[in-house]
Chain A
Amino acid sequence: MKARQKRILFVVAAVIGVSLAAGMAISALRGNISYFFSPSQVMANEHPSDAVFRVGGLVVKDSLQRQPDGLTLTFDVTDNAATVPVSYTGILPDLFSEGQGVVAKGRMGPDGVFMAEEVLAKHDESYMPPEVADSLQQSHVDGVVEMVTQ
């Protein structure tokens, strides 16, 4: 390859790289606002009506149910203001659990049930060894009990 060809190739690569970066920066900035919608936003119909979007929130305790077909799972996602029922067929991630954060990607069904194609678990910010986490939990419970009994 001649030096000039090499130079042109590099310039083309640089131009493609930078424009790709710029395009993605813009879409990321816009997507930042709508990476996922909260159940309240969904209930207020702020979500796209016929496109794939994400719902993010907490899985409602005791809402996870396996449907009679044995494959489909249903659970409710809440932001403590509104709740969206979600239906999903597939394997749930390891960290998925009731009371924990979740991000589901899919479409809104006509019956008001969110049909998820993908369910991702969103974990919280604490990184604690089990025994430390347990003792923290215990002291929290103790504190609450103390407050109630006083």
Chain B
Amino acid sequence: MSINWFKFASPAAFYPIAGRMIPWFAGIAIVLVLGSLLWGFFGTAAQLGGSNPQKEYYRIIYIHVAGAWMSMWLYLVLAGWSAIGLVFNTRLSFMMAKAVAPTGAIFTVIALWTGAFWGRPSWGTYWDWDPRLTSELILFFLYIGYIALHSAIDDTRRADRAAALLAMVGLVMLPVIYWSINCPDPTQCAALHQRSDPGSIHASILWPMLGVTLGFWSYAFAATFVRLRGIILLREADSAWVRELLQGDSGR
């Protein structure tokens, strides 16, 4: 039982695999996000009660938490593929890293934007320099820095390596974002955000929230693979397999 994983690590092998997976990921994303939001809007209380009596605006939680988790997770993916690329010098890893960056940046904007629109009615402000908000904004700049640096260098190999290095240096932000709320001593992580855990979120809110997160995750796969296929075609335009693929018809 030995599968040669490196077989899939070649762009030529992965191009059709990614193509076959895109409709599945896109379909799962639509079903999960729509289903979870229907549940979240119609299957839960309109307002919260007890010690956190938020009104209808609490419904922003579904996309806010999902977007924020995706922004961090995709950065980890970006840095991970960058590291693999730097260490093993595999072409496909760098292409994966490049393909995931714009989607990660978009989810970071979503996290910040929905946070602002949730913060105004609940906390009383769109923005404050709370450690969590500040570190999430820096994460956005890291994504932008990665994309800008990559497109600033003409030589693809050098661009890959330089941007990968930036992505790995920026990795220090992830623990900062996490710790800005989840530090053991609560007086040291004074923030507007309140640390929470699944136990203090009612199941009727928690499940739609996890559903939207999975849906966003599936969407990120689909979007990344579409972008990846474009990058593969451009970078491998000289190779025989692209020639063969496109000489026929549309290239699907």
Q: What residues make up the interface of A, taking CB atoms closer than 8 Å to B? A: 7, 10-11, 13-14, 17-18, 20-21, 24-25, 27-29, 31-33, 35-36, 38, 56, 92-96, 100-101, 103, 118-134, 136-137
Most chain B beta-carbon contacts within 10 A, residue among A7, A101, A127: A127
Listed in ascending order, the chain B residues whose CB lies under 8 Å from chain A are: 44-45, 47-55, 58, 61, 121-125, 128-131, 134-135, 137-138, 141-142, 144-145, 148-149, 151-154, 166, 170, 172-173, 176, 180, 187-192, 194-197, 200-202, 204-206
- Whole-angstrom distance from the CB of A117 to the nearest CB of chain B? 12
B180 touches A127 (CB 8 A): no
B134 A129 Cβ-Cβ under 8 A: no
> Are the C-beta atoms of B122 and A94 separated by less than 8 Å?
yes
Q: How far is the CA of A133 from the CA of B53 in the complex (A)?
A: 10
Q: Which residues of B contact A13 (CB under 8 A)?
A: 148, 152
Minimal beta-carbon separation of B185 from chain A (angstroms): 11
Q: Is there contact, CB below 8 Å, between B125 and A118?
A: yes
Task: Give complex CA distance A5, B36 in Å.
Answer: 47
Using CB atoms, name the residue of chain B closest to A34.
Answer: B190
Q: In the bound complex, do residue B205 and residue A10 qualify as a contact, i.e. CB atoms below 8 Å apart?
A: no
8 nearest interchain CB pairs?
A: A133-B50, A130-B49, A93-B124, A10-B152, A129-B45, A133-B49, A125-B196, A21-B141
A116 to B17, CA, bound (A): 59
- B206 cross-chain contacts in A, Cβ below 8 A: 127
Other 13 A-B pairs with CB < 8 A, given A10-B149, A28-B135, A132-B49: A7-B152, A14-B149, A25-B173, A32-B189, A35-B191, A94-B124, A119-B124, A120-B192, A125-B197, A128-B49, A128-B200, A131-B49, A134-B49
Which one, B50, B121, B192, contacts A122 given CB within 8 A? Answer: B192
Please, how many angstroms separate the alpha-carbon atoms of A122 and B180 in the complex? 15
Contacts A20-B141, A24-B138, A125-B194 given: A134-B50 contact, CB under 8 Å?
yes
A-B contact count (CB 8 A): 160
Contact yes or no, A126 B50, CB < 8 A: yes
B145 and A18 within 8 A (CB): yes
Chain A residues whose C-beta falls within 8 Å of the C-beta of B196 in the assembled complex: 125-127
* Minimum CB–CB distance for B220 against chain A, Å: 23
A127 touches B122 (CB 8 A): no
The residue from B122, B129, B134, B189 contacting A95, defined by CB atoms under 8 A apart: B122
Interface pair B148/A133, CB less than 8 Å apart: no
- The docked-state distance in angstroms from the alpha carbon of A135 to that of B31 is 34
**Which residues on B sit within 8 Å (CB–CB) of A95?**
52-54, 122-124
A12 → chain B closest CB, angstroms:
9
| Cα distance, A13 to B145, chains bound together (Å) | 8
CB distance from B2 to the nearest CB of A (A): 43
* Contacting pair A124 B52 (CB below 8 A): yes
Please name all residues of chain B whose beta carbon is closer than 8 Å to the beta carbon of A28 when the two chains form the complex.
129, 131, 134-135, 138, 176, 180
Q: A123 vs B192: C-alpha distance in the bound complex, in angstroms?
A: 8
